[in-house]
């Protein structure tokens, strides 16, 4: 039987996009703070199952699908979990696996107004009315309002770089869990607007050193000219231009009040706050072993479910058995097999590699193995 | 760009456009960030948050690992500086203080002949 008849089309499509993304790594997965493939091996053993159980409990309590999706905060938090299908999703039957990953895509559809897969690098969360409202609501800074626009536009680029590295740090490399970049929204005169929401920036229960971080949420709206900016399914930004050179106007708002940051001095101070926090964080983890990072990975992922757990009246913290698991169990032969597969990415024709990886991901969602490591 | 007296020493994948000239600094550990100065060219296996100070000082980035959507590529485009990724053996062939030109438009690294 053809794969398309056996499996959910939404799942197959999403897995093929993730496979294409892995192809872009050219057989060399990110290695900071540890091999990202290794982290995904661990997550596949507990996180999708935990999400499934949590969603089911909320459904039993009569919580609506829209409300459950809102607890995830952004669509990218949902799509990013597809990465974990690099390994068999343990503890769910084939039917439960399909139900969970299909649910993710139906939740994504609550947010993404056009293509839920961002196939054409468009992550459209606002309709035309919301775009117009934003353009009127926020006071943008531009070259007419700033004497040294070149320096200011470069500073915004530095600020976005710092925030990107910051989200990478606090999410143990999985930066998209703390940012939602959306757009591009087409404006007249070859201009486009993109919106960046940095959020969940103060998970102090996971990272105590974040206590002095000033804001949990930062919003930027940026208008570019002649720039081919875009965002993919996993919220990675794609472009072939130097952003500061194409920037025309921008707005930066901090906190839930979206208080505007209107000048060079204040933007530099904000950048410095988050940069210094990363430096403090680097000091805090300077002696970390892989096991220490895996504990943070575990806690951070359970913390993504805090809004759901709060609704259920449950503690967000992982059970003890999971701490023991990440500290004592080493990845099995599937890890070696997968590393071998991605290592052949360059030698294998792209189409063949993507097809091979897509099949593997889909089968991992539908594999329905018993939980080999965890029974809690 | 005048390519006379310039020798192509490495090639990689175009990740962020622009051309920058400067002294290479090879960063193999977070401690190596201390040797970076404003305008130097950051050369590393890959970038990560532990290199934040060096990244913000760099006039260009060269990494051995990654593609157009890799972390180094994304950060470099935000900064508006050239970046070439997937440059095999960059940290071995490029040496500290070597004067190089990073052509992010073509994915080529030159060394100027004296």
Has B71 been annotated as catalytic?
yes
- Domain segments of chain A as ranges: 3-114+290-366, 128-284
Q: Report pLDDT for A1.
A: 42
C-alpha span between A158 and A290 (Å, rounded)? 30
**Residue contact A244–B45, C-beta within 8 A:** no
Return the CA Rg of chain A. Answer: 21
If you average pLDDT over residues A166-191, what whole number do you get? 97
Q: How many residues make up chain B in this entry? A: 114
Those of residues 76-95 in B touching chain A at CB distance below 8 A are: 77-81, 86
Angle between helices A350-366 and A94-111 (to 10 degrees): 110
Topology, domain B6-99: Glucose Oxidase; domain 1 (3.50.30)
The pair of three-digit structure tokens given for residue B32, joined into one six-digit string: 């190596």
C-alpha span between A95 and A6 (Å, rounded)? 12
- Per-residue pLDDT tens digits for A219-249: 999 999 999 899 999 999 988 888 999 999 9
Q: Report pLDDT for B66.
A: 87
Sign of CA dihedral A95, A97, A101, A104: positive
Cβ pair B95, B4 in contact under 8 A? no
3 state DSSP class of A362: helix
The pair of three-digit structure tokens given for residue A240, joined into one six-digit string: 């072939």
B-chain residues near A286 (CB < 8 A): 30
**Residue contact B17–A161, C-beta within 8 A:** no
Is pLDDT of B2 > 60? no
**Residue contact A244–B80, C-beta within 8 A:** yes
- Per-residue pLDDT tens digits for A306-348: 999 999 999 999 999 999 999 999 999 999 999 999 888 888 9
Confidence category of residue A53, pLDDT binned at 50, 70, 90: very high
B57 in contact with chain A, both atoms CB, cutoff 8 A: no
ipTM over 0.90 threshold: yes
- Domain segments of chain B as ranges: 6-99
Cβ pair A258, A139 in contact under 8 A? no
- Per-residue pLDDT tens digits for A104-119: 999 999 999 989 999 9
pLDDT, chain A, mean: 94
* pTM, two decimal places: 0.95
3-state helix, strand, coil in chain B (%, to 5): 25, 35, 40
């Amino acid at each position: 039987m053809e794969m398309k008849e056996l499996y959910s089309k939404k799942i197959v499509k999403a897995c093929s996009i993730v496979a294409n993304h892995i192809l872009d790594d050219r057989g060399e997965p990110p290695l900071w703070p540890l091999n990202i493939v290794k982290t995904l091996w661990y997550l596949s053993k507990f996180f999708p199952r935990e999400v499934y159980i949590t969603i089911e409990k909320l459904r039993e309590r009569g919580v609506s699908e829209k409300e459950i999706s809102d607890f995830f905060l952004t669509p990218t938090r949902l799509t990013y979990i597809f990465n974990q299908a690099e390994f068999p999703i343990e503890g769910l039957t084939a039917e439960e696996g399909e139900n969970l990953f299909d649910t993710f895509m139906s939740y994504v559809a609550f947010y993404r107004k056009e293509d839920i897969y961002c196939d054409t690098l468009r992550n459209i969360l606002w309709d035309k009315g919301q775009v117009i409202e934003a353009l009127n609501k926020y006071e943008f800074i531009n070259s007419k309002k700033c004497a040294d626009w070149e320096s200011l536009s470069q500073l915004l680029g530095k600020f976005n770089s710092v925030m990107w590295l910051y989200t990478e740090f606090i999410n143990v490399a999985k930066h998209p869990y703390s940012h939602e970049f959306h757009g591009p929204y087409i404006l007249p005169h070859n201009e486009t607007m993109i919106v960046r929401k940095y959020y969940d920036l103060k998970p102090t229960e996971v990272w105590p050193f974040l206590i002095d971080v000033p804001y949990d949420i930062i919003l930027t709206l940026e208008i570019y000219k002649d720039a081919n900016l875009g965002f993919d399914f996993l919220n990675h930004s794609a472009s072939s231009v130097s952003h500061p050179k194409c920037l025309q106007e921008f707005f930066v708002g901090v906190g839930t009040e979206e208080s505007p940051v209107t000048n060079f001095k204040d933007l530099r101070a904000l950048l410095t706050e988050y940069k210094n926090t990363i430096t403090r964080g680097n000091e805090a983890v300077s002696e970390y072993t892989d096991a220490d990072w895996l504990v943070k990975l575990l806690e951070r992922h359970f913390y993504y479910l805090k809004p759901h757990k709060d609704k259920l009246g449950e503690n967000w913290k992982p059970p003890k058995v999971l701490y023991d698991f990440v500290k004592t169990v080493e990845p099995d032969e599937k890890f070696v097999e997968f590393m071998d597969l991605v290592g052949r990415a360059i030698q294998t024709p792209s189409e063949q590699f993507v097809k091979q990886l897509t099949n593997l991901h889909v089968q991992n969602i539908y594999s329905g193995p018993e939980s080999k490591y965890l029974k809690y | 760009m005048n390519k006379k007296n310039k020798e192509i020493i490495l090639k990689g994948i175009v990740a962020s456009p622009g051309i920058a000239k400067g002294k290479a600094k090879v960063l193999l550990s977070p401690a190596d960030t201390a040797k970076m100065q404003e305008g130097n060219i950051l050369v590393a296996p890959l970038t990560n948050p532990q290199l934040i100070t060096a990244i913000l000082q760099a006039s260009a980035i060269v990494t051995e690992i990654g593609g157009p959507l890799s972390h180094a590529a994304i950060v470099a485009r935000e900064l508006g500086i050239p970046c070439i990724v997937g440059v095999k053996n960059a940290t071995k062939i490029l040496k500290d203080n070597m004067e190089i030109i990073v052509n992010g438009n073509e994915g080529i690294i030159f060394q100027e002949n004296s």
